[in-house]
Amino acid sequence: MAPPKINEYERKRLENIRRNNEMMAALKVQSKATALSNHSKIVTKSYTVKLEKKPKIETPIVIRRSLRTRGIPPDSKGLDLDATSDSNTSTHNSPNKVENIVQNLGPISMKDVYKGVDGSDRSFIETLVGMSNKEFSEEKLNGSVKKMKTECSLDLESLYLDPENIARVLPGRITQVRFCPSKDVNRIAAGNKFGDIGFWNVGESEFFLYHPHEAPISGILFQQHCLSKIYTSCYDGLIRLMDAEKEIFDMVYNGSDNACIYALSQPKNDANCLYFSEGKGGLAVFDNRTGKCSSHWDLHEARINTIDFNPQSSHIVATSSSDGTACTWDLRCIGGPKQSALRTFAHKRSVQSAYFSPTGCSLATTSLDNTVRIYNGVNLEDETSVYHFNQTGRWLSTFRAIWGWDNSHLFIGNMNRGVDIVSTVQKATVKTLESPHMSAIPCRFEAHPYNVGMLAGATSGGQIYVWTSS
């Protein structure tokens, strides 16, 4: 007998959960059976780091404290570097000493936070620097992108997970995964909850792991015109710029109020501005030329999870927020005293992502209300809602439906170690990518910006699966 007070939505939700549990149970039995029948043990590539004896009792959470708020002069020179690297390697780091961890608020040398086993990231840095010198023909790139977006005809059936393209790139839960935006190289950068950034050339067995941050990575941004420069944002409230030429993780932005940074983005046509979400519903614009924030708006009632620019009109952005809405904004009119969104897309729970399609004419949102919604039409007024179970729980990064290489399909992980493909035309999940080689749930995805059919999925155990189209 159902309690009388329960509303219809709740009832439906519980029903869904129960149904899902049943399904999961069934599938678990199935997967166990296949695991048993599969005698050959799958060995995948994995990162290796120097075995650092970690103190038995570790600080569960390192709260970021700016030097200023702790009454220490901001530039206490040199010591910071040592203090930070020591805090990572120290074997006698007693819990009471936690307060003594001083976050380095200046540039960090890449060498000092490199966590490779052989101590040599020389070749990697040289590759990065080499790429930065390559001349990019902007016209050519744009041309090919446009062509791809409209003419992409990817055969979903051809998507394949080569065991060679699986690797444990990082330890721990991956929060961000990005492809290097180059046609010639299939390089992945991934960030995890510890503040590590790992690099992997798909298919190879080498990894380059750095520890430039002290909390979950919330953004990784390759510079299109200079591939040796990569911005990183973090819950520790910092934005850094990895510069392979200078061999540092430079300090770019340091919020004064210890606010977490949850998202990082940049318009295609303006490399001087960084847009990031900060604290409870804030969106800020950092200007490289002045080294300061040029704007700061309170757009949402809760944290902003993603910031996405419309590919066609770079003054239009979409935000998704834990306040249960996604919004579109016109940056040209956002400055008024009362912020008003172009449109507000209401969900019943926290919204984890809102992304424009490659042509910019559709918007896809993913919410913890167990829907993926697609908005079409000139004003995005046509809503399509597709059921998708999005309760990842606390150990997994939340699901976010991403666009493939055209406007026709979305890719999103599911709780059964698969990748659901949602057709925006059929308004339904039309296919699920599965493989016995996927031993964990892929949560965060990225489609290669130039290589159609190359899709990276990252897990909460540090693995990355790269599907390709053969």
Partner DNA sequence: AGGTCAATTACGTAG
Partner DNA sequence: CTACGTCCATTGACCT
DSSP 127-168: HHHHHHHS---HHHHHHHHHHHHHH----GGGEEEEEEEEEE
The residue whose two tokens read 């029948």 is 37
Q: Tell me if 402 sits within 8 A of 355, measured CB to CB.
A: yes
Q: Provide, rounded to whole angstroms, the least separation between the CB of residue 216 and DNA.
A: 6
Let me know: does 458 contact 170? Beta carbons within 8 Å.
Answer: no
**C-alpha pair distances (Å), 96 with each of 33, 58, 79, 85, 101:** 48, 10, 20, 18, 10
Taking the complex as a whole, the smallest distance from the CB of residue 218 to DNA amounts, in Å, to 8
Minimum gap (Å) between residue 129 Cβ and DNA = 31
Query: Which range touches DNA (CB under 7 A), out of 74-82, 156-164, 211-219, 333-341?
Result: 211-219
Rounded Cα distance between 407 and 149, Å, is 8
CA-to-CA distance for 174 and 197, rounded, in angstroms? 10
Both tokens assigned to 53:
């004896």
By rule CB under 7 A, what string of x and - marks binding of each residue 178-197 to DNA?
---------------x----
Answer yes or no whether residue 334 interacts with DNA by CB under 7 A.
no
> Smallest distance from the beta carbon of 461 to DNA, in angstroms?
3
Applying CB under 7 A, the span of 122-130, 153-161, 220-228, 455-463 interacting with DNA comes to 455-463
Region near DNA per CB under 7 A, out of 93-101, 271-279, 347-355, 418-426: 347-355
Least separation in angstroms between residue 368's CB and DNA is 4
Contact 76, 67 (CB under 8 A): yes
Question: What's phi and psi for 451, nearest 5 deg?
Answer: -95, 100
Q: From the list 441, 447, 452, 458, which residue makes contact with DNA (rule: CB under 7 A)?
A: 441
Could you tell me the sign of the dihedral formed by the alpha carbons of 320, 326, 329, 334, in that order? negative
10 backbone dihedrals φ, ψ, rounded to 5°? -60, -40
**Cβ nearer to DNA, comparing 190 with 226:** 190
Q: What is the rounded end-to-end Cα distance, in angstroms, of the chain?
A: 53
- Among positions 152-171, residues that touch DNA (CB under 7 A) are 168, 171
Q: Pick from 196, 214, 247, 308 the residue near DNA by CB under 7 A.
A: 214
| Total residues in contact with DNA, by rule CB under 7 A | 46
Determine, following the binding rule CB under 7 A, whether residue 277 of this chain makes contact with DNA.
no
By the rule CB under 7 A, 235 interacts with DNA: yes
- For DNA, the binding residues (CB under 7 A) are 21, 24, 35-36, 58, 60-64, 168, 171-172, 193, 214-216, 235-236, 260, 303, 305, 322, 324, 349-350, 352, 368-369, 391-396, 398, 415, 417, 439-441, 459-463
